[in-house]
Amino acid sequence: MQLSTLSLFPFCNFLTLYTLFHLPNPISSLCKTVPKFLHIKASREGESRCYFTLNQGFNRSNKLSRYIVIRSQLAGTGILDATNSLSEIKPSPKFRGVCFYGLTVMAGVLPFGILIVAHPLALIFDPYKTKFYNLIPKLWATASIAPFFDIELEGLENLPPQNAPAVYVSNHQSIIDFYPLLTLGRSFKFIGKNTVFLYPGIGWAMYILGMIPVKRMDIKSHLEAVRRCMDLVRNGASVFFFPEGTRSKDGKLGDFKKGAFTVAAKTGVPVIPMTLIGTGEIMPAGMEHVVNSGSVKLIIHKPIKGNDPENLLQLVRNIILDTLSIEAQKKKRLS
């Protein structure tokens, strides 16, 4: 006979009732002291044989052993063969967030100093590609995220040669999307919201690295950003766009803007679609103070070339959308 484990009182470890079936009226006295959540259940060979609840009284379909043991859920947690062990203590997402930002700042002190010293030389000898800077952001991003989540890279063979200019695009889920992208060690220039460039440290570093600021809802600013991107690409540099223009609030892929694909079509360079998975769960949009547990997957798709911006836009968006759908189905099957 297999007996269920119950909680009768928070302060008790064991309560054993002997000869329950042979007492004249054990239930009536028990009901006066036991709270309403009392539930006694016993089973034999997986089939319920008897039970008692305060609402339905006592029911017995077959005779069982005269011994019924009722055990608190707190019982046994201090012994080696405990059935209910204490759960593992894990740091909260808010605490992880504080540690993440602290490490990001500390890991960036030395690289930022190197950037300041080397910036004048880079402007003289390599003003467009700034290949000297490739390794610094990669090391900084890797050191910042290594203790918090893993990154799986897929499709690295689809990356063009280091010196070949291209337009890289990806879906946008979180402000930490930059970190996995920087671990690729590519010298692309990001298009970023102009207010981010005002942040101490990371904003200044973005400016030194040649990132391009753009004002939201400002057509003139967007046109200027596209012009600068075309100039960079024609001089051998690569650029990076989040064509949605903003982070997804619900994890769904938003509409794409045409700027990235206009640059690719007019300069004749390929578009490199990339799909980011998992960053929105680790640090959701609007919850930048937390870092949840999880992992990130970055998929690099095959390059696409074309001279029609609208056609390029649809092709790239469909690739990323289908990939997100496939990965979501895989995750659902595993859960």
- pLDDT band, residue 22 (cuts 50/70/90): very low
Give dist(CA 70, CA 40) in Å, integer. 8
Q: SS3 of 238, please?
A: strand
In the numeric block, which tokens belong to residue 22?
Answer: 């042979």
207 lies in which domain range?
93-334
Residue 292 falls inside a structural domain: yes
Give dist(CA 313, CA 129) in Å, integer. 25
Residue 283 falls inside a structural domain: yes
Domains held by the chain: number: 1
With CA atoms as reference, report the closest residue to 148 among 298, 297, 292, 284.
Answer: 292
Give dist(CA 149, CA 291) in Å, integer. 9
Residue 134 falls inside a structural domain: yes
Residue 201 falls inside a structural domain: yes
Q: Would the pTM count as exceeding 0.75?
A: no
Task: Check if the beta carbon of residue 74 is closer than 8 Å to that of residue 10.
Answer: yes
Residue 38 falls inside a structural domain: no
Neighbours of 193 (CB within 10 A): 14
CATH classification at residue 274: 3.40.1130
With CA atoms as reference, report the closest residue to 269 among 165, 158, 162, 157.
Answer: 165
Give the tens place of pLDDT for each residue, 129-187: 566 667 788 888 899 999 999 999 999 999 999 889 999 999 999 989 989 998 998 87
Give the tens place of pLDDT for each residue, 299-315: 999 999 999 999 999 99
